[in-house]
Amino acid sequence: MITIVALTEPGLLLAKRIDGLLKSNAALAIKASEKQAGCVSQICYKPKPFSATVQQAFQSGDALILICATGIAVRTLASVLDSKLTDPPVLVLDEAGQFIIPLLSGHEGGANDWAGKLANALSAQLVMTTAKPYIDPIYSVGMGCERNCPVDKLDELLQQCLQKADLNIEQISHINSIDIKADEVGLIELAKRYSKPFMTWDKIQLRTVEDQLSTKSDYVFGVVGVYGVAESAALLDAKIQTQQTPELLLNKHKSAVATCAIARAYPLADQSNRKTENRNSINGANI
């Protein structure tokens, strides 16, 4: 659900315009999470009580378009913010529709891209405040799997994850795993199928990004020495390629036989042609 909140009559006119655009152009709908898949939009005009209504929509996972002062938006949502990895996207617009600010979940929730599309549709000015918004990110896939996992099972999970992240395989730089998977035929064949480098990393390297994992599995740690293979491998590769702090674009997703996660990082402008380093040939396990 997309909830459009307006507080003034000019704001209501803008809300109706945006609502019409969203309903007539599927490309303008946010695809930030499963909760918003196939989402519809609704207008909330002068809701009472204001704070409780907006907070409830936010906590329910609604993507928000707030036509009001930025200060109002910040004060209203401050107490219900959880994590940039899970909070829904929030856009703030002035009542004249001249400016659009992706206020929350710019990268992870898709607010930056969504705001850009709406800005074009409304002929508005996009006000981007997050880091490096105009530099193409590096996307890395991390995978783990059972021993002798069929390549088609791995490919099926990979395609599901790419769809959830709104990416295509051409945007992926590498497929990564832990070094004990360096001989995993399925992972090797998957990388060959899409002409992607297959990278593996040892547990010491993977542990350097463990503070960014969405979940930590004690069982996995007991088996391979890291709390999660897919997320760790994706994060580390993105970090190595850009020498910048990576982020999880898609948390670990599991099938019956494999796991997959997608990370990204934004390189500095003068690092766009930097060669990657510290890589091992790879294939993997059952995590």
- pLDDT tens string 81-123: 887 778 889 999 999 999 999 888 776 667 888 888 888 888 8
Q: Phi/psi class of residue 132: alpha, beta or left (left: φ > 0; alpha: ψ in -120 to 50)?
A: left
Mean pLDDT check: name the lowest of 14-18, 258-262, 270-274: 270-274
- Say if residue 26's pLDDT is above 90: no
pLDDT of residue 273: 45
Structural fold of domain 138-281: Nucleotidyltransferase; domain 5 (3.30.420)
Q: Mean pLDDT, to the nearest integer, of 9-31?
A: 85
Q: Which of 12, 287, 246, 27 is nearest to 145 (CA)?
A: 287
pLDDT of residue 245: 86
Q: Mean pLDDT, to the nearest integer, of 227-245?
A: 94
Q: What is the mean pLDDT of the chain?
A: 86
> What is the domain partition of the chain in residue ranges?
2-126, 138-281
> 3-state class of 32 per DSSP?
coil
Name the range with the highest mean pLDDT among 44-53, 102-111, 181-190, 213-222.
Answer: 181-190
pTM, two decimals, is: 0.56
> Strand ranges (DSSP E) for the chain?
2-6, 41-45, 63-67, 90-93, 99-104, 125-126, 138-145, 172-178, 198-201, 247-254, 258-265, 280-281
Residues 116-130: tens digit of each pLDDT: 888 888 888 888 776
Residue 47: alpha-carbon gap to chain centroid:
30
Domains 2-126 and 138-281 fall in the same CATH topology: no
Residues 137-156: tens digit of each pLDDT: 899 999 999 999 999 999 99
- Say if residue 276's pLDDT is above 80: no
Looking at residue 89, what DSSP letter applies?
P
Residue 156 carries which side chain, given as an amino acid letter? E
CATH number, domain 2-126 = 3.40.50.11220
